Amino acid sequence: MKQKSSEIHVAKVLPFSEESLTFCAKALKSDSLVAFPTETVYGLGANALSEKAAEKIFSAKGRPKSDPLIVHISFMRQAESLTNMSEFQRQCFDVLGTKFWPGPLTIIVKASNIVPKIITANGDSIALRIPANKVAQELLKQANIPVAAPSANRFGHVSPTTAKHVYDDLSDFDDLYILDHSENCSIGIESTVIKIFEKNKIALLRPGAISSLQIKSELNKEKINFKFEILQRVVKIQDIEKSANISMESPGQLLTHYAPTIEAFIVTNQSKSENFGQTFSKEFLNSSVIIDFNQKNASLMKSSLKYIDLSSRGDFDEASQNLFSYLRNAEKIEGAKYILLPDLIEQNNEKSFGVFDRIYRAASGKYINII
Ligand code: TXA
Ligand code: MG
């Protein structure tokens, strides 16, 4: 199935048109892969009811089968046959789906038995989302099937926010059509993921544009009784490689995730106990690309190879939109050996959590001190 890019059969990029949209909807129905823009990142879509189609996602991405897939639907009633919800799940699902969909929220509830095991990674829950991007919506509507879609990057690499990013990572997969639309991913980081347990508990598994405060406030308005937990477990990639059956609440929570191909660090002026120890040298800075936020590390600009700011005015929405493309650009700069990222942990703002979560993982949790 995998072919070298020098061979004829490679992934095809289709400039957006009504015809290419219809073509892609048909391709999904016949179990091919279609990469499409959403408001968060590009998704790598496959028919969620076909084991054969879902297999292709894992093979194209090089993703371990222990990592379940998000299923994209186009309207809330489409969730009926895919789920088998408890009363509590149903109540929360209705409130949150009605309020936040279409939008960047993924909701995990109990799966029904029509969902192929490859989608749930042999678990009993399913992750669902209705995307807000118009191209994604039209594609789902025309295909008229639930579409499994992880981010369309090579496993562990930075998520894609343009069709070109997808092509750069997955061009050697022959049964893939990439729908290229200029109105790309306006949010720029993946959806917030929550899990609704069968009884009275909700957990945040991945931060994103919809905050836990917003989620809690909607449930409180409806006087629903619930416990809310933040279950962001940081798991090292070696642990998942050791055991394909490793049990994790959210298997995608790997420490080394969203990682550029060159080494990245978070710049700090504080001592971070476990990771403290690395310091700058002149040569180090000369071969470093600095990706900043709100001009925090602007003093390093002159001695660095290249300096770019995610948002020089300190806007987290702008930063999240830019982060993945800046990381991908940085790894391609000639002479670049390192990427230095901003420490946003001290920003006491829930909007910074999603961006910093990706920065932390891009750097595999490594900090570096300024002397
Ligand atoms: O914004 C997004 O969510 C994008 C776009 C394309 O929709 N998709 C995306 O998918 O980020 P992916 O596969 O890269 O991330 C999905 C995350 C993973 O961490 C996965 O482990 C988790 O959701 N997940 C999916 N199904 C799950 C389940 N049933 N139980 C627990 N975690 C689940
Ligand atoms: Mg991903």
Query: Read out DSSP for 110-146?
Result: EBPTTS-HHHHTTSSEEEEE----HHHHHHHHHH-S-
* Residue 191 marked in a binding site: yes
Q: Is the pLDDT of residue 15 over 90?
A: yes
pLDDT value of position 351: 84
Same domain, 358 and 215: no
**Is 70 a pocket residue for ligand 1 (Cβ < 6 Å)?**
yes
Same domain, 28 and 111: yes
Most ligand 1 atoms within 8 A of CB, residue of 193, 206, 324 to mutate: 193
**Is 328 a pocket residue for ligand 1 (Cβ < 6 Å)?**
no
**Is 193 a pocket residue for ligand 1 (Cβ < 6 Å)?**
yes
* Residue 149 marked in a binding site: yes
Question: Using one digit for the tens of pLDDT, what is the confidence trace for 120-153?
Answer: 999 999 999 999 999 999 999 999 999 999 999 9
Question: Using one digit for the tens of pLDDT, what is the confidence trace for 33-55?
Answer: 999 999 999 999 999 999 999 99
* Residue 40 marked in a binding site: yes
Same domain, 213 and 288: no
Q: Is the pLDDT of residue 238 over 70?
A: no
Say how many domains are in the chain. Answer: 2
- The CATH number of residue 353's host domain is 3.40.50
pLDDT value of position 178: 98
**Is 103 a pocket residue for ligand 1 (Cβ < 6 Å)?**
no
pLDDT value of position 4: 46
Q: Is 179 helix (H, G, I), strand (E, B) or coil?
A: strand
Which ligand sits closest to the CA of 118?
Answer: 1
Across the range 202-218, mean pLDDT stands at 96
Confidence of residue 244 (pLDDT cuts 50, 70, 90): very low
Sign of the C-alpha dihedral, residues 272, 278, 279, 283?
Answer: negative
Could you give the CA distance from residue 115 to residue 202 in angstroms, rounded to a whole number?
22
**Is 102 a pocket residue for ligand 1 (Cβ < 6 Å)?**
no
Q: What angle do CA 344, 166, 170 make, to 5 degrees?
A: 120
Q: How many CB atoms lie within 10 A of CB 23?
A: 16
| Residue 287, both tokens | 């071969």
Which of 333, 278, 275, 325 shows the shortest CA–CA distance to 304? Answer: 333
Question: Using one digit for the tens of pLDDT, what is the confidence trace for 155-164?
Answer: 999 999 999 9
Same domain, 212 and 301: no
* Residue 258 marked in a binding site: yes
Q: Does some domain include residue 1? A: no
pLDDT value of position 2: 46
Q: Is the pLDDT of residue 245 over 50?
A: no
pLDDT value of position 258: 74
What residues contact residue 262 under an 8 Å CB cut-off, 6+ apart?
330, 331, 336, 337, 338, 339
Same domain, 230 and 283: no
Q: How many CB atoms lie within 10 A of CB 193?
A: 24
Same domain, 133 and 279: no
Could you give the CA distance from residue 43 to residue 127 in angstroms, rounded to a whole number?
14
Q: Is the pLDDT of residue 243 over 90?
A: no
Q: Does some domain include residue 191? A: yes
Take atom 12 of ligand 1 and give the residue whose Cα is closest: 150
Could you give the CA distance from residue 247 to residue 351 in angstroms, rounded to a whole number?
29
CA of 151 to the centre of ligand 2 (A): 4
Q: Contact, 144 vs 73, CB < 8 A?
A: no
Same domain, 225 and 300: no
Q: Does some domain include residue 180? A: yes
Q: Is the pLDDT of residue 322 over 60?
A: yes
β-pairing, 70-72 vs 125-129, is parallel
Q: Does some domain include residue 217? A: yes
Same domain, 237 and 268: no
What residues make up the domain containing 313? 263-370
pTM, entire model: 0.92
CA of 196 to the centre of ligand 1 (A): 15
CA of 66 to the centre of ligand 2 (A): 13
Same domain, 60 and 195: yes
pLDDT value of position 282: 79
Could you give the CA distance from residue 175 to residue 254 in angstroms, rounded to a whole number?
28
Q: Does some domain include residue 365? A: yes
**Mean pLDDT for the chain?**
90
Across the range 57-83, mean pLDDT stands at 97
Q: Which has the higher per-residue pLDDT, 364 or 253?
A: 364
Confidence of residue 251 (pLDDT cuts 50, 70, 90): low
CA of 70 to the centre of ligand 2 (A): 10
Same domain, 73 and 33: yes
Could you give the CA distance from residue 148 to residue 45 in angstroms, rounded to a whole number?
5
Q: Is the pLDDT of residue 252 over 70?
A: no
pLDDT value of position 239: 43
pLDDT value of position 183: 76
* Residue 157 marked in a binding site: no
CA of 150 to the centre of ligand 2 (A): 6
Q: Which has the higher per-residue pLDDT, 248 or 221?
A: 221
Q: Measured from the CA of 131, which atom of ligand 1 is nearest?
A: 7
Which of 272, 265, 270 shows the shortest CA–CA distance to 291? Answer: 265
Across the range 277-292, mean pLDDT stands at 84
Same domain, 161 and 84: yes
Q: Is the pLDDT of residue 293 over 80?
A: yes
**Is 250 a pocket residue for ligand 1 (Cβ < 6 Å)?**
yes
Same domain, 74 and 170: yes
pLDDT value of position 350: 81
Tell whether omega for the bond before 102 is within 30 degrees of 0, i.e. cis: yes
